[in-house]
Amino acid sequence: MRVGKDSVVSLEYRLHLGDGEVIDQSAPGQPLAYLHGHRQIVPGLEGAIEGMSTGESKQVVVAPGQGYGEHDPEGVRTVPRSMLPPGFNPEPGQTLMARTEQGDIPLRIQEVQGDAVVVDLNHPLAGKTLHFDVTVREVRAATNEELTHGHVHGPGGHHHG
C-alpha cells in the first residue's frame, strides 16, 4: 500500500543541512512511526512521502517555509541577565528552557554583552533548508483507536500505561 492520509508510516530518516553532517536520525532498527496527514512531521517532508510504498527511499530537500519556518528577527531579543535563572552563567550556543503560559520554549543564547543577553526564541532549525534521506519501512492503515487518539500506537509510537 502507498502512503496516504491516515496511513501509519514507519520511517527511517537522516537529516542534514546540506553539508552532509547528520544532525538528527532515527535510531538503528527503530524507525519513527507517525500518522500521515496530521502534520506530525514538517509539511515539506510529509508532502514528499505521500504516495511512497514500503522499501522505497528518497532524498528530500525542504525549504524553510515548508520546514520549521523562516527565521523571525522579532524572535531575537535582548534581555537583562537578571531574567535568567540565578547562578546560570550564559554562554553563546547554550539553550535553556523558558517556562511560559504556552509551555516550555527553548531559548538559545546568542551573545552576552555585559549585563545584557541576546537570546533567540526561534526554533533552532528555523531558516534552514532541510535535507532528509528517508526510507519507508512499513505502511499500514491507522486503527480507529489511533485516529481517535491522533497518534500511532506500538513500536516507534505512543505507549499508554
Q: Which residues bind Zn ion (CB under 5 A)?
A: 149, 158
CB-nearer residue toward Zn ion: 5 or 158: 158
Amino acid type, 94: Q
E-state strands within the chain: 7-16, 22-25, 32-35, 57-62, 76-80, 95-100, 103-113, 116-120, 130-141
> Least Å distance between CB 3 and Zn ion?
21
> Least Å distance between CB 141 and Zn ion?
16
> Least Å distance between CB 57 and Zn ion?
29
Nearest one of 83, 82, 64, 84 to 124, comparing CA atoms: 64
CB-nearer residue toward Zn ion: 71 or 149: 149
Nearest one of 161, 145, 160, 131 to 8, comparing CA atoms: 145
CB-nearer residue toward Zn ion: 58 or 158: 158
> Least Å distance between CB 120 and Zn ion?
34
Nearest one of 50, 43, 35, 42 to 150, comparing CA atoms: 35
Distance CA 91, CA 161 (A): 40
CB-nearer residue toward Zn ion: 9 or 60: 9
Query: Residue with the closest Cβ to Zn ion?
Result: 149
